[in-house]
Amino acid sequence: MTGETQRQLPDTDFAVVEAPTTLSVSVRINGKVVTRDVEARTLLVHFIREEAGLTGTHVGCDSSSCGVCTVLIDGDVPVKSCTMFAVMAHGRDVRTVESLAVGGKLHPIQQAFWDQHGLQCGYCTPGMMMTSLALLGRNPSPSEHEIREGLSGNLCRCTGYNNIVKAVQQAAEMMAPSAAPEVSHD
């Protein structure tokens, strides 16, 4: 991204293409600080995918509608990472879908999506899971209506919503403080 030389484009209205100014941006992604020189216009989703190499966060509609790029900022705030500049996340914590499984063991939300087949093609799944995580953090036992409301900014183009809702219900049960200690699947 750096080191572009100025080029002359003769005989056009656009006389000079200036080398873009870059900024040093540091974002703590899943606990690890990633520092890169990027243009201010770099969207957070591209920083995550291309600079940090974490491709679990998807690009779907590319127009701020579908929510597949949802990540959590500063712990529990879900944001569409295609609608935030990477510089806005400078010095902040970002959590992506890659943070869910620990030591090869699925997070209860992942396990519940698996058990309930809360995915069809799976493209929207990372965003669905990150939004679910934020939702359950705020409301540990949501009603079906609250789940549907909570996930309404995430589109599933397979329209597999029923199983997604079931998965979130199961995840809520699994994550409840009273839930039995998880049995190892090994």
Give the shortest CB-46-to-other proteins separation in angstroms: 8
The residue among 83 and 143 lying less far from other proteins, judged by its C-beta, is 83
The answer to whether 120 touches 158, Cβ cutoff 8 Å, is: yes
The residue among 59 and 174 lying less far from other proteins, judged by its C-beta, is 59
**Distance in angstroms (rounded) separating the CA atoms of residues 88 and 25:** 9
The residue among 122 and 153 lying less far from other proteins, judged by its C-beta, is 153
Give the shortest CB-19-to-other proteins separation in angstroms: 10
Give the shortest CB-105-to-other proteins separation in angstroms: 27
Identify the residue whose tokens are 């201010």.
Answer: 40
Give the shortest CB-38-to-other proteins separation in angstroms: 11
Give the shortest CB-59-to-other proteins separation in angstroms: 11
Task: List residues binding other proteins (CB under 8 A).
Answer: 18, 20-21, 23, 39-41, 43, 62-65, 67, 70, 77-80, 83-85, 87-88, 131, 138, 149-154
The residue among 125 and 131 lying less far from other proteins, judged by its C-beta, is 131
The residue among 90 and 117 lying less far from other proteins, judged by its C-beta, is 90
Rounded to 10 degrees, what is the CA torsion of 68, 144, 78, 138? -160
Roughly how many angstroms between the first and final C-alpha of the chain, as a whole number?
A: 45
